[in-house]
Amino acid sequence: MYSGLRYGLMIGNSDELGVCPRIVSHGDNFDFMFVFREDTPSNKEWNLFVNVVKRNLNISNKLENIISEKNTKNKIRYSCIEKNIEFYD
């Protein structure tokens, strides 16, 4: 459907101390997962969330450009595209 679309999961007011194993085992197709301890995230949590969303928007734009420019002469060609996984405490 939408090749550049990114999927994320955000859970607030959680009793968990982080992303629980159940979410990891069922959410392997998510591009990012967040668990906030309160309804309102701390400044550290919010800044990380915003940065991750911005990175995913950038990735989405690049993927969309690859698709939309597939028939143009001067398109950008990538020799490698990697789906990177980061872990944050």
Measured distance CA(45)–CA(51) in Å, rounded: 10
CA–CA separation, 6 and 1 (whole Å): 12
**Which stretch, 18-27, 29-38, 40-49, 75-84, has highest mean pLDDT?**
40-49
For 30, the token pair is 């998510």
- What is the structure's pLDDT at 46? 93
Bridge partners, residue 11, by sequence: 35
φ and ψ at residue 50, rounded to 5 degrees: -60, -45
Taking 70 as the threshold, does the pLDDT of residue 89 lie above it? yes
Residue 45, C-beta contacts closer than 8 angstroms, at least 6 positions apart: 34, 36, 37
- Whether the per-residue pLDDT at 12 is higher than 70: the answer is yes
Q: Cβ–Cβ contacts within 10 Å for residue 34, how many?
A: 20
For residues 43 and 8, what is the distance between their CA atoms, to the nearest angstrom? Answer: 20
